[in-house]
């Protein structure tokens, strides 16, 4: 059996992109605040007072991951959690003053990091890149939902 060309495998390329992003994030943005943590801060700047489930949906994180991310941000005192006055079982999230300052500082750094990350592409290529990767990411969201279109090859005994 011959080796496959991994440059034609989107998962392989996505992993390589993620590794590059992780390296740039840690060197140019923050070693303390992760990209998913920044996404949560950013979601709450855009829409203060969201509940945990809604924040997770906004930033594309599953229930267990969003719970962990929010827990870390609460421990760092970048978020406050308050009871929803209309539903006592639900908690709403807001950035603390330190959370707002952190978001503001990291926003400038992420802009610089993105310039480096996208440096190999000209402006038109960047627009196409974003359109295509957004389309694939949006379609992939459907795979996580119950009954999502995950196809299995019935001829492959290892697929079931």
What is the Cα 29 distance to its own chain's centre?
15
pLDDT digits (tens, 9 = 90+) for 146-157: 665 555 555 665
Element housing 34 (H / E):
none
Query: Can you name the residues that pair with 91 across neighbouring β-strands?
Result: 83
Mean pLDDT across the stretch 20-38? Answer: 97
In the chain, the domains with their CATH numbers are: 24-119 (1.10.10.10)
Contact indicator for 94, 79 with CB cutoff of 8 Å: yes
Predicted TM-score of the model (pTM): 0.84
C-alpha distance from residue 159 to each of 6, 139, 145, 152, 154 (Å): 20, 21, 19, 6, 7
């Amino acid at each position: 059996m011959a080796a496959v060309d991994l440059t034609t495998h989107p998962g392989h390329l996505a992993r390589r992109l993620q590794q590059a992003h992780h390296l740039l994030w840690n060197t140019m943005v923050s070693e303390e605040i992760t990209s998913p943590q920044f996404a949560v801060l950013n979601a709450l700047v855009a829409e203060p007072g969201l509940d945990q489930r809604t924040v997770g949906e906004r930033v594309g994180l599953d229930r267990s991951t969003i719970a962990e991310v929010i827990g870390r941000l609460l421990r760092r005192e970048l978020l406050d959690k308050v009871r929803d006055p209309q539903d006592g079982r639900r908690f709403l999230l807001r950035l603390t003053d330190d959370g707002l300052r952190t978001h503001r500082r990291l926003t400038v750094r992420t802009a610089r990091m993105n310039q480096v990350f996208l440096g190999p592409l000209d402006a038109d290529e960047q627009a196409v890149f974003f359109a295509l990767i957004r389309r694939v990411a949006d379609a992939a969201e459907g795979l996580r939902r119950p009954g999502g279109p995950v196809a299995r090859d019935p001829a492959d005994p290892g697929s079931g």
